[in-house]
Amino acid sequence: MLLINQIAVDESVSEGFAFAAGSPYENKRYVRGIVKKGKTIQKIPLPDPPLACAYTLLETLKKNKIFVRDSATTLRHLKENIKREDYQKNYEKPNRRIIHSHYSPDLKNLILHTNTVSQNFYAESIFKLIGIMDGNYGATVSGGLAVEKFWKDKVNLNGFYMTDGSGLSRLNAVTCQQLTEMLNFFAKQANFSDYYETLAVAGRSGTMSKMCLKTLAENNVRAKSGTMSRVKSYAGYVTDKKGNLLSFAMISNNHTSMPYEIRRQFEKIMVIMANLD
């Protein structure tokens, strides 16, 4: 990995950040951001996770004096570097023996982490998985098509645009009406509790941990937050005084206020909903 450091040091920033930019499968990353002096730790996605896994295994075997006939590779590399006819002959159905299987956490736990702390990388990965489950390849485009196909006969999608899985693209568009209708649909499903439990809880967890403290909305509202420059949003559920579960969505676009000021106004609405009787 070639890391090209383009990080700026600025003692005036309240909270530093850093990120790595680069193309998939390319072993070059430009590290950018603004930080204060001192130690900064950031995690970045690997450009080629399967190759990194194979390489780590290779180095570990060599370190333990276990002979390895060949080098680290992946099926993608083999397909790129070998003639098609040779690949079909030698690699399409290779004689392999599994030495270890490693499984990810189940989907519910992945979504719990995604929704609670707003993990955008997980959201993008799940979005691509939706495309695969719909019979296409794992890409952003196929994920978007699958999502629209699912909702087209359940919600009026006029004005709905989904161009990524995390909601970070400015090309995305969704109305509060659409979000609340989607939340209402989820609430009627047999496995609703699984989804409901993945949302952050006001005053308790994730991005909602500091909201609605010492009110009826605390430990009541469950919601997913959304934040970008000049954008703040929340969507989720609240239970009123009679025990009715209400869905809600609130979005502030291109506001001129500070983010905490918008959040304070949204908190007031959540508390009002919790006090409805």
Predicted pLDDT of residue 213: 97
DSSP letter at 126 equals H
Contact between 205 and 197 under an 8 Å Cβ cutoff? The reply is no
Contact between 266 and 232 under an 8 Å Cβ cutoff? The reply is yes
Predicted pLDDT of residue 92: 57
Instruction: Check whether 82 has a pLDDT greater than 90.
Output: no
Sheet of 2-9, strand order: 2-9, 28-35, 17-21
Q: Give the pLDDT confidence of 179-195 residue by residue, as tens digits.
A: 999 999 999 999 999 99
Predicted pLDDT of residue 84: 57
Considering the four listed CATH numbers 3.30.410.10, 3.40.710.10, 2.60.40.1580, 3.20.20.70, the one that applies to the domain covering 176-277 is: 3.40.710.10
Predicted pLDDT of residue 262: 95
Q: Give the pLDDT confidence of 20-62 residue by residue, as tens digits.
A: 888 888 989 999 988 888 877 777 888 898 999 999 999 999 9
Predicted pLDDT of residue 81: 72
Separation of alpha carbons 4 and 2, rounded Å: 6
Predicted pLDDT of residue 24: 84
- Residue-range domain boundaries for the chain: 2-35, 49-90, 105-174, 176-277
DSSP 200-239: EETTTSGGGTTSSTTSTTTTT-EEEEEEETTEEEEEEEEE
Separation of alpha carbons 14 and 89, rounded Å: 59
What is the pTM (predicted TM-score) of this model? 0.75
Percent of the chain scoring above 90 in pLDDT? 70
pLDDT mean over 128-157: 94
Q: Give the pLDDT confidence of 193-252 residue by residue, as tens digits.
A: 999 999 999 999 999 999 999 999 999 999 999 999 899 999 999 999 999 999 999 999
